[in-house]
Structure 1
């Protein structure tokens, strides 16, 4: 997540600088960077063995789909991702609308990078000794949801950036716990299939978040109710929070679940 934040702020600064010349330069530079990243990953990343045994793809996916708890957890996280992807859509649009200039957007990503680089490790280290993974995920999601609701009412950049800071802090709390929790729920015999399937929540939540978020934002402007999309996102966050709470209160904890995996 620290690398993501650093990359986001560098990308925003580079994109803002190139945008003053030609948008095609932004697209070309983005494509070149993606190609370079693919080459470096193929060249430098080690051939890490994910599973304890060699499992065919179909059998691995069959194991995942038959694991109802994991499937439910992944699909529930779609609500979390609906909020998370707004960092790349509605939040920059809102900053641009309030500031009256796209130049202010880079400061939003700078804030994200600063908070991630300074708070991610200390918060993760402090909270992992005191709280369970599911509690950290839910606490972060709750903060993200609460900070979303009043964004549509922000009248100046100071108020907006304060709410965005709260949203980022919630993300800093939730994201490390989400990654660790997702890994702890996997079956070691088909870990690659589990981790691949876990991104389905991002695919579904991201698609709905981008399409639905943009539609709600336009609808809010049309109806002269700018708070509409943010209220809806907050409600989605609360529903996801309650759904996760229900799952974790009725199922085995990750620690017990991991222990059970070792006995198989």
Structure 2
């Protein structure tokens, strides 16, 4: 828990396009206008790769849709966007965006990554973002990213982490998907007859606490938002995900 794993530092997204075309010069100009990010051009028509300090940024036009119907599959889980599946089904190409750089901090990398993706969404024909097992509405993704223009310390958590819903015969709950790229384990919270919106807000607050403070939650410890509150933390096989997850007791 908290150690490097195969997912740590992997920031990759696919901006879905309605046509197989992009304007690389526009992307470079938009990154500068939107965020003050200076991206260097190169000789390739279909790819842009440049280095910003210790970070390498790459964006490339990929002809054809995301293979194996992956985008459509994950779009079906977006309970906030009923048209997500249609947007995923109809895309004809994608811009693959990646940000790598082991020396730079994970939060710094994550912020830069989200800024580049948001600028890609200003391309003509950009219809969705597929990343970390979720398909996001372009307006939603851009609105969350824009928080970084208003507040220097803002974390675009809703672009980084998907808060999924799961149900079993015994209970329903909310899980995170996207924490592992920050070197953290995914989290799950569940309860009987609890409001899922309240549960999601609860887990969102914990996610912000973990990422903002680089906090590691350990098995057997407790967590609380007051001196009296002591919510149990358990690490065990995940319910809605592969591998282990952190289970956090939901307050009554």
Larger relative strand fraction: 2
Classify the TM-score, shorter chain: under 0.3
TM score, norm. by length of structure 2: 0.26
Of the two, which has the highest radius of gyration? 1
TM score, norm. by length of structure 1: 0.25
Larger relative helix fraction: 1
Structure showing greater relative contact order (alpha-carbon pairs closer than 8 Å, 6 or more residues apart):
1
